Amino acid sequence: MKRVLLAWLVLLGANSAAWAQPWSLPSDEAIRAILADRIDNRKQSVGIVVGIVSPQGRRVISHGQPARSDSRPLDGRTVFEIGSVTKVFNALLLADMAVRKEIALDDPVAKYLPANVRVPERAGKQITLQDLATHTSGLPRLPNNMPTKDPLNPYADYTSDQLYQFLGGYTLTRDIGSQFEYSNLGAGLLGNALSRRARRPYEVLIRERITARLGMRDTAITLTPSMRARFAVGHDAALKPVPYWDLPTLAGSGALRSTANDLLIMLENETGLRRSAIRAAMDRQLSTRRPGASSDTEIALGWQVRKHAIGTIFFHSGGTGGFRTFVAFNPQTREGVVALANASTPVGVDDIGMHILVGEKLADPRPPVTHTEVALDRADKEKLVGRYRLSANSVLTMTLEGEQLFAQVAKLPKDRVFAASPTLLFWRGEDGDIRFELGPDGRAMSAIVRFNGRETVAKREDAS
């Protein structure tokens, strides 16, 4: 759910005309002030490291510390879990294998799985490797047979046999390739298939094909003694320490650990600031596109893509139980940014990264607003159903299925919402709500959508 809300923030943030002005990368002092405010005043992390690359060189700015009990300063060598930013490396591995003609992007994933594994099909089509890398496979975000032994380390006990069992029993609910739906399951399955094709353990394959060739010595799943000594402690939204995550089967979805320095090496390769040993694979990764979550976004192999006034922005965010990550670059200006935090607060560091790179407005992470659920009559729920225009490219769709209300923005997954009053809906466990204004006929005429302090007004489209 948190990743969906963060995606909403990115989508809504894309549509402010005020942010389409010329922009220069902020100074170290300005960035450090943002980090200090986020950590010291708003209590949204224990430590944050920001890295920037540009034709003028690289910069690393940090504030805070590795743990509340550890007063050492953070720097570009501090190790963080990078969560779903792993998907960028996962897809780059796919592109590299395609460039080497070891696989084809349109190969069915079933070709590289055990012969007895049934992969769901639909309308005569099979799920391909490209479908998995672009989140258009039709597979859900997560399988429904994950063990719940340790909710603080939710992927640790999931096995390949359980993954194959889920695939064999799953029925796709939409045509393959027809719609973007973010899927950790799909990314994990892709990594599994690539590892089997290369006959190499996944982590070894990532090191041999990607990180070693780029000179990224501090990006791995298994920590070296040096990395372990520099590993920041993860914290939850209340800034309490939490365990690290292990993803043995779905490693391609989020298992990597890295540093700001290493991720800056990747961005220097992506932007052409370094002569890359895997340029052909990077070009294939960036040029392969499908429609994204909204009409103004696309999905490349791993990277999400958005047009901006100052260029095309490639970006990805990541989150685990105790960390938040954001990486983005603009190939036109040859600038890139990475932001790493050792706390899993709802806003994360996405807004900091986009503010630095293109000048988008910072979120206002205040203490979360809490609501108490009340029961609504079906008639009151029906008054809220409809389409509400958030921007030129994004629509909020409210639906009622049985007695449950759902909210959906663009092509992002729909989410259950609950009533605090006849005109106020909210998400459980998240700092977000929708306040409706009713018209003379009692039907909702507009909605004010709030995510973590940021509000957007949406007018109803289907009003008579």
Residues counted in the chain = 464
Q: Using pLDDT thresholds of 50, 70 and 90, give the confidence band for residue 452.
A: low
| Nearest CA-CA partner of 268 in 331, 324, 317 | 331
| DSSP single-letter state for residue 78 | -
Using one digit for the tens of pLDDT, what is the confidence trace for 88-133? 999 999 999 999 999 999 999 999 999 999 999 999 999 999 999 9
Using one digit for the tens of pLDDT, what is the confidence trace for 245-292? 999 999 999 999 999 999 999 999 999 999 999 999 999 999 999 999
**Tokens 């994204």 belong to residue:** 292
Using one digit for the tens of pLDDT, what is the confidence trace for 407-429? 998 777 788 999 999 999 998 86
Q: What are phi and psi of 212, to 5 degrees?
A: -65, -40
Give pLDDT, residue 14.
46
Amino acid at 59: R
Better pLDDT: 204 or 440: 204
Using one digit for the tens of pLDDT, what is the confidence trace for 154-212? 999 999 999 999 999 999 999 999 999 999 999 999 999 999 999 999 999 999 999 99
| DSSP single-letter state for residue 137 | S
Sketch out the chain's domains with CATH numbers: 46-354 (3.40.710.10), 378-460 (2.40.128.50)
Amino acid at 242: V
The C-alpha atoms of residue 404 and residue 120 are separated, in whole angstroms, by 28
Amino acid at 404: Q
Q: What are phi and psi of 252, to 5 degrees?
A: -65, -15
The C-alpha atoms of residue 399 and residue 415 are separated, in whole angstroms, by 10
Measured between alpha carbons, how far is residue 203 from residues 243, 280, 323, 326, 384 in Å? 21, 22, 21, 22, 48
| DSSP single-letter state for residue 264 | H
Q: What is the DSSP string of 325-373?
A: EEEEEETTTTEEEEEEESS--SSTTHHHHHHHHH-PPPP--PSPP----
Using one digit for the tens of pLDDT, what is the confidence trace for 9-68? 555 554 443 344 568 999 999 999 999 999 999 999 999 999 999 999 999 999 999 999
Note whether 103 and 197 are within 8 A (CB). Answer: yes
What is the Cα 155 distance to its own chain's centre? 17
Q: Would you state the structure tokens that stand for residue 353, as one six-digit string?
A: 């990264």
Using one digit for the tens of pLDDT, what is the confidence trace for 326-352? 999 999 999 999 999 999 987 899 999
Note whether 92 and 210 are within 8 A (CB). Answer: yes
Q: Using pLDDT thresholds of 50, 70 and 90, give the confidence band for residue 2.
A: very low
* Helix intervals (H) in 116-216: 129-133, 160-169, 184-198, 202-206, 212-214
**Tokens 């809300």 belong to residue:** 5
Average pLDDT over residues 213-221: 98
